[in-house]
Structures are given as C-alpha cells and as structure tokens.
Chains A and B, each alone.
Chain A
Amino acid sequence: MGHDLALLAPEITVLLTAVGALIAEMLRRPQISLVVAVIGLFVATGMTLRLLGTDTTVFDGSFRIDTLSLWAKLILLPATVLSMLLARVDVRGSAREGTVYSLLIFSTLGALVLAGAGDTMFLVLGTLLTGLATFALVAYPDTDPATEAAMKFFVFASVTTSIMIFGLSYWFGASGSTLLADLPGMETMPLAVILGFVAVVVGLGYKASLVPFHFWAPDAYEGAPLSIAAYLSVVPKIGALFALTQVVRELPPETGWVVVMAGLAVLSMTYGYLAALVQDNLIRLLAYSSIAQSGYFLLGILAVGSSDLALPSIILFAAAYAAMNLGAFAVVATTGRSLKDFDGLGRGRPLIGIAMVIFLLSLVGIPPLAGFVGKFMLFAAAIDVGFTWLAVVAIVNSVLSLAVYLRIIVPMYRLGKPASGAMEPWHRGVVIMAFAATLVIGLAAQFLLV
C-alpha cells in the first residue's frame, strides 16, 4: 500500500493543491490561491517526470501507472496551468476567484483518473469528478447564457453518464469483476461486452465531444467564460480519449470496436469541419473544430493493440492539440469572439497575428508544426493496421479544415482597419507559452515518442 501511494504521489499532490487553493480562497486571498495552484501543479508535473518509464498498476490493477497515464499528467497539468492563467483575466476581482482555480484542479484530477483507469469504477469516478467541477465552472459567471449553457451541459452529461453506468453493469454481470483487464475473459457473453462497450462510448464520447454526442459542446463553450471553454476543449477531452484508449486495449477484436471507432472518426472529422465552415462566432468555430480534432484521435485509438505507432501517435497528438488549441483560444480571448474582430489583426498586431497563424496552421497539420507531426503519426498508425481509406478521409478533411482556418487567417491580412490595442499580460504569457510549445513539439517530437 505504501508503495502504491508513492506511485500516486502526483495525483495526491494535485488533490492537495486543489484543497490548498480552496483554503487560500477561504482566507480571501485569491492571489495566493493562484500561486498555490500553479506551484502545486508544477510540483506534480516534476514528480511525474521522475516516474516516467514506469509501467505498473496500483490498487490491484484498478489504476494504471503506465505511459498513457504518465503522459496524461505531463500534458494535462501544464494545460491546466495555462487555463488558469487565462481564467485569471475572466474572474479577477470577482467573488470566489480561488474557487475557480480549485474547481479547475478538481476537474483535472478527474481527467487524470480517467486517463489511468484500469477499472470500470474509475471510469465512473473520473467522469463524475470532471463533470461536476465543469458544470459549476460553466455556470460561474451567473449570467443567463452561462446558466443555460450549464443546464444543457448538465442534462446531457447526466443522461450519457447514466447510460454508461448502466452499460458497465453488463460488464460486471458478465465477468463478475470491475477490472478492465478481465474483459477478454468474457467471450461466452459477447452481447454483454458489446452492449457495455456501446454504453462506454456514449459516456466517454460526450466528454470527448465525438459526433453524435457533441450537441452540448458549441452551446456550452459559447455560454461559458472563454477560459473555461478553452479548458473544456482540452483537458476533459484528452482525459476521456485516453480513457477510451485504456478501454479498447482490453477489448477482444471480435466485438468489432475497431469499426465503430473508424465510423465515429469519419463522422466527427467530417461533420465537425463542415459545421465549422459556416460559423461566424469564433468560439463556435473552435468548438466544431475541436469536435473534428477528436475524430483524428480515433485514428490512433483504433490501432491500439495492433500497431506500435498507436500509443505514441495518440500522446503526441494530445500534446500538440493541447498547445495549439489553448493558444488559439488565448488569441481569441485577446482579440474578440467575432470573425470581424480579426480584420487587419496581422497588420495591426503582427506578433499576435503570426502566433495565430502558427496555431491555425498547426491545427491544419502543416509541417513542421506540432499538429503536423501528431497527425502524421496518427495517419501512419491507421495505415499500419490497414485503414488506409480512413487516412485518406482524414487527409481530405484536413483540406476541408484548411478552408475553415483560412477564414480566420485571410481577413487578418486583408487591407482594412488594422486592429490594435494593448494585450493583457496574462494572455500574452499564455500565447507565448503555447506558441513555444507548438514549435518545440513539432521539432523535438522524439522526446514524446515513447
């Protein structure tokens, strides 16, 4: 048990950090709350670095300390820090600022639990922990749109999570165990396995905003504070996709899960970009774009177990996605939510302009940026397991995505009234860090190829 706890040191640190941030808030010291949160998350990241290379489980196999769950921490903890810096601008001066930081950390803890889940109960725990914290975060501004968004989010989440729990009961019934590792032993009851799998896809699919479980995402993103939308599009999503990876690792191929993943990938990529193409509100545009990007993850997930490229591709793309998506949201935060706000941005504020271009081109997958390396690996993984047609579909969608993102880039350099204005130092910090990450992940990908 003591050994188990040592392996869980990062998670425990995250938990203590959340509590610490809350205590600082009780003392009415929001700044200290932020400082505690940032330091705590960095310490947890450092602890994770020391564990890198470990591949074991704790609590009798129910929680996994493996490549996936360790990299989840290395990606999601820094991403949470960036989200908190963005949130600082949204909530500064309001009551209960520290609560927001604390909720963000609780939600991240949920995502980490999902990413390391080796047991169906951890799937439930992670989903609930992430969900409960994020409902509150979306509703935080106490405005009508925010409340409405949170309600939609909540209702949708309740239904999908209930379906997941219901489905998991079949798995329990069939195997007599809650461990994912016991799933392959249930070949006597294939129907139960399939039903359970479908339900898990529903439960995790909503969190990852895969089509057709995506309905809540654009509305919730739009109603929520911008920093929370940025956070939602990255941390809980990656947590859910990693959890999905942990689940399919144990599924026997006869269940046909590979085909389900391929189908969801096509739907998410295509529908996401088609819908993004007609948006004028950048938050909605980015929401649909993030739905499409979720589809790309599935190219790697369907190769899990059959290709050595699968896990590296998922991790690499997750890191790339976190950097470029947070960066794009940060630029939107400093520029404005309407497409019109970007007219002349590149001429008026050249550095922000260049950063935005880099984020968007990385989202398209243009080399040598992070998004390219990630997508490249995902395509390689899919082709490696014989899904060349899916890689072709993904590539065609990449071209579609170019049209989506160029709708933002083109007005930035069109002659027109150059936008100007001072930039929040917090926003600037996030943009710079995300920018550096987008370049570095592209050029130094070997460190993430595990």
Chain B
Amino acid sequence: MLPLVSLTLFLPLVGAVLILCLPKPTARTVHGIAIVSAALTLIGALAMWLQGVGGEGFSQIEELEWMPAIGAAYRVGVDGISLPLVLLSAVLFLVSLIYASSLRDRPRAYVALILLLETSAIGTFTALDGILFYVFFEVSLVSMYFMIAGWGHEDRQRAALMFFIYTLLGSLPLLLAILGLYLGSPDPTFDMRAWIANPPLEGAAAMWALIAMLITFAVKIPAIPLHTWLPAAHVQAPTVGSVILAGIMLKFGTYGLVRFALQMTPDAFREAGIVVLFFGVVSAIYGAFAALAQTDLKRLVAYTSVNHMGYVIVGVSVAALTLDPAIRATALDGAVLQMFSHGLVTSALFFLVGMIQERAHTREMGEFSGLLTTVPLLGWFFVLAAFASLGLPGLAHFPAEFQIFLATLGTTPIAVVVILGIAIIAGTFLKALREIFLGEPRDRWNKMPDLSPREILAVAPLLVLTVSTGVAPSWVLDVIHRTTSALVL
C-alpha cells in the first residue's frame, strides 16, 4: 500500500524544493514543475477520495515516531470532515498555479511559496497530532505573509504585517490549549485521536481551553469582532493570495472549530454554544451589511466571506448545542459542505475580480458599466459565481445553507434572523451585477479582452464543481455524512 496521505501531503513540498534547487531555471520550467507537482497532488487527493473513509474515526492513517519522549508523533489520516477539504485544496492550488503561470516577477519564489502553502494546507487538514497540526497551521501563516509582502498591491507591507501579527497573536492561544490537552491527558500524548475519544479536560480547564481555541479560530475564520485583518489582507494580496486565503485558509478556522473545539471540548462547547451561535449570527448579518456598503469589488467579495463563514459557525454551534444526533449530523453536514462550497465559489469570484482588475487597473464598481457586452465570457462566469454565492438553488451554497438553516430551526428559532443575511447578500450581488455588467457599455473599456484560455482553465473547473455540487450534492455529502452521522459527543 502506498502511503497516500503522506505522498499527497509532501508532493508540493518536493516540487518547491526542486524549483529552489534548480540553477537558473526559466520561468517556463518553474511554472511547469509547479503545475506538474500540483497535478500529481490532485491525483493523490483523488486516490484518497476513492479509498474513502470509514464510519467512525479516521481512515488511511499513517504513523511515524517523532518525539516519543513527549508522546508526539507524525500522524496523519482523514475522515469525512477533512477529506472534502483536502480535495478542495488540491483543486484550488492546481488552478491557482495555472492562473499564476503568466507571472514573470520572481516566479521561482512565488510558486515555491504557493507549493509550500499547499503542503501546509493539506497538512493542517490531515494532521492527527497536536504539534504537527500547529506546525502546519503556522507555516501557512508565514508563507502567506511573504506572499502578500512580496507580490501584493500598493499598501502590501502594512497589510502583510497586520495579517502576520494579528494571526500569530491569534494562533498562540491555540498553542496553550494544545498544551492543556497534552498535560490533561492521563498518559500525556499529542495524539488527537486520543483527545477526541476521551476529551482530557473537564470543568473550568475545558472552558479555558475552549476560549483559547475560539479566539484562535475566530481570528482565522474570521468572525466578528476579530475580522479586521481580513479586508486589508485580501485587498492587498495578489489574486492567487486572495484565492488561497479565502478558499483554504479561512477553512483552517472552521475546521479547527469542528476538530478541536467541538470534538475535544464538547461539554464546554455545549455550555458556551449559545454565545458562539450569537457571534456566528452577528458575523453573518454584519458581513452581509458590510458587503452591501462596499464600492470596491474585492472588498465586497471579502466581506461576503465573513457572512458565509458566519453560517458555518452557526452550523457548528448548533451541532454543539443539540443532543439529537440526527440534527447534529444535519448541522455538521451543512457546515462542512458550506466550507467546501465557499472554497469553490469565493475562489472563482476572487479570480474573476483579479482578472477585471488586471484589465482595468481599478476595482471601483462605479467605473464600470455594461461589461457583459464587452467581455461576455468573463461576465457570465461572474454572474454564475455571484448567483452561487447568494445561495441560488442548484448551485453549491444552496444545499449547504439549507441544511444549516434546517438544523438551526430545529434547535432555536434564531434561524429567521440568519436568513436575513441571505437576502442582504442577494441584494449586494444583484446591485453589483447591475452596476458592472448591465447598462450602457463605456468607451474606455471597449478594448478590454475577454478571458484567455489560461484564465478559463483557472475558473471553469471551479464553476463546473459549483454546479455539480449544487445539482447533485450527494457526491460530497455522502463522504461527509459517513463521519458526521457517527459522531458521538
């Protein structure tokens, strides 16, 4: 048996090292190697997908001794919650590298950073060891810092610094929580499976650990009021940076919320669940209103992420609150599917915004009009992605949000308020679409070229997946449900 998980996890890193070791490679070679290693990674992820997951606990586990003296080891594996996110990462990084293949400004370091990010992303989702998880979690942060600082827009240094300090400050409480779990275990170990099977902390200690985790993940997600780093980082990041940030790195937070907070401190989460739910609702509503107020297209998309991630928080906290296994499974199905869908849809939107900016050198929505006639392909792609984002049935977000609301309604009537968020987001996107794509075409954009094959190759796969997830969500949901239905808290 091939160690599939480890192969998939380290293939990008091997590509990065190869690229850095080549003496004076051409940009073509660099991009070629990067795309090939990301494609191989996708094949690895697909093979993992075909292997599937078992009902309870983790599958495809690989273990290696690392620091036996303190009970830390290299342990990786997947379950129905992490496998969709691994697949999402593999797809997103491949299309990101395809999109980036036109870059000529220090391409070597750029794609090496992207590949390093890919390893850290897949590592974060597959790690089954507390230290290993933290290592991957932090490596992603460092790589993203250099990406924003090195290739971002006008105000990149400040945005990168803010991003770095904010998220590092945010992630250190998790370190304390991990140490707490470690020292609380009867036989001190960093094995996350042991922490899940027998939550080591209880009472006040568990509550403190939960609070520490919530701070970390709320920054990462980002949830109100710890979201302030996000718009700046998104706006200043290069397009691929925004795509990875929104598509993958925000999921670190929600994934951690399920994996750590829900699974390792379930009782504390049940007690505090209503507060977390409240923050989720506020995030969803606030994100929607904030998006409505934007005139900068990229900021608009960034704020819709706050809204969408708010729904995930709602889903997870409902799962923590409820005692009914069926409702819990529904809530978690929705939350995990929402992470997956958001990765596809928002990444597509960020790509398209980046393409518009590259052509027009502005993101102010008021500057545009009638683009649907000038660049029809880009326009229709954007329309499709926007409709998916506002939750239209038949597209990826609908089945996810539907299940979250269903589970929420079954637990607390607060769902009514959350649905308000959908209406506002719909208004936001419709307003943006009308302003940019409809109306009289303006002369200054007459010469704007439509999508190139490279750009189509980057966005089309995401939209195909968006439609297929919307029309037949069962291909992902079945995997997710195997785990969520067996989840005992």
Contact = CB atoms under 8 A, between A and B. Distances in A.
Interface string B129-168: 0010011001100100010011000000100010011001
Interface string A256-287: 00000000000000000000000000000000
A403 interface: yes
A410 interface: yes
A23 interface: no
A413 interface: yes
A406 B164 contact: yes
Contact of B179 (A368, A379, A413, A446): A379
Contacts of B70: 309, 312, 377, 380, 449
B453 interface: no
Nearest to B158: A410
A413 B180 contact: no
A388 B149 CA distance: 34
A28 interface: no
Contacts of B135: 367-368, 372
A414 interface: yes
A395 B215 CA distance: 14
A49 B164 CA distance: 41
A367 B138 contact: yes
A367 B134 contact: yes
A399 B179 contact: no
B1 interface: no
Contact of A380 (B66, B161, B182): B182
A398 B146 contact: no
A436 B180 CA distance: 31
Most B CB contacts (10 A, CB to CB) among A312, A367, A406 go to: A367
Contacts of A58: none
Interface stretch (B83-91, B169-177, B347-355, B404-412): B169-177
Contacts of A399: 165, 168-169, 172
Contacts of A384: 183
Interface residue SS majority, chain B: helix
Nearest to A388: B176
Interface residues of B, number: 30
A309 B168 CA distance: 25
B165 A392 contact: no
B2 interface: no
A133 interface: no
A445 interface: yes
A380 B183 contact: yes
Contacts of B66: 446
A309 B139 CA distance: 25
Contact of A383 (B67, B68, B179): B179
B50 interface: no
A368 B143 CA distance: 13
Contacts of A377: 70
A391 B172 CA distance: 11
A140 interface: no
Interface in A384-438: 384, 388, 391-392, 395-396, 398-399, 402-403, 406, 410, 413-414
Given A380-B183, A388-B176, A449-B70, A410 B157 contact: yes
A366 interface: yes
Interface string B61-100: 0000111111000000000000000000000000000000
A361 interface: yes
Contacts of A361: 142
Interface string A361-379: 1001011100010001101
Contacts of B182: 380
B176 A413 contact: no
Given A402-B165, A403-B165, A368 B139 contact: yes
B176 A445 contact: no
B164 A402 contact: yes
Given A368-B139, A379-B175, A410 B149 contact: yes
B157 A414 contact: yes
Nearest to A391: B176
Given A379-B179, A402-B164, A413-B146, A367 B139 contact: yes
A399 B176 CA distance: 14
Given A379-B176, A395-B176, A402 B183 contact: no
Contacts of B179: 376, 379-380, 383, 391
Nearest to B69: A449
B142 A366 contact: yes
Nearest to B208: A388
B161 A410 contact: yes
B123 to A, nearest CB: 10
Nearest to A313: B70
A95 to B, nearest CB: 43
B183 A446 contact: no
A406 B161 contact: yes
B67 A446 contact: yes
A156 to B, nearest CB: 35
Nearest to B109: A350
A144 B288 CA distance: 66
Contact of B69 (A312, A388, A406): A312
Contacts of B142: 361, 366
Contacts of B180: 383
A392 B142 CA distance: 22
Contacts of A366: 138-139, 142, 168
Most A CB contacts (10 A, CB to CB) among B109, B135, B173, B180 go to: B135
A379 B172 CA distance: 11
B360 to A, nearest CB: 24
Contacts of A413: 146, 149-150
A410 B175 CA distance: 25
A380 B138 CA distance: 18
A60 B314 CA distance: 68
Contacts of A380: 70, 179, 182-183
A383 B177 CA distance: 11
B172 A398 contact: yes
A450 B65 CA distance: 16
Nearest to A407: B161
B211 to A, nearest CB: 12
Nearest to B178: A376
A449 B67 contact: yes
A52 B403 CA distance: 60
A392 B135 CA distance: 19
Most A CB contacts (10 A, CB to CB) among B66, B68, B138, B175 go to: B175
A413 B109 CA distance: 12
A376 B131 contact: yes
Nearest to A346: B150
A388 B209 CA distance: 12
Of all A-B residue pairs in the complex, the 8 with the closest CB atoms, nearest first, are: A449-B69, A367-B135, A446-B67, A395-B172, A368-B135, A399-B169, A367-B138, A380-B179
28 contacts: A312-B69, A367-B134, A367-B135, A367-B138, A368-B135, A372-B135, A376-B131, A376-B175, A377-B70, A379-B179, A380-B183, A383-B179, A383-B183, A388-B176, A395-B172, A396-B172, A399-B168, A402-B164, A403-B165, A406-B161, A406-B164, A410-B149, A410-B157, A413-B149, A413-B150, A446-B66, A446-B67, A449-B67
Interface of B: 65-70, 109, 131, 134-135, 138-139, 142, 146, 149-150, 157, 161, 164-165, 168-169, 172-173, 175-176, 179-180, 182-183
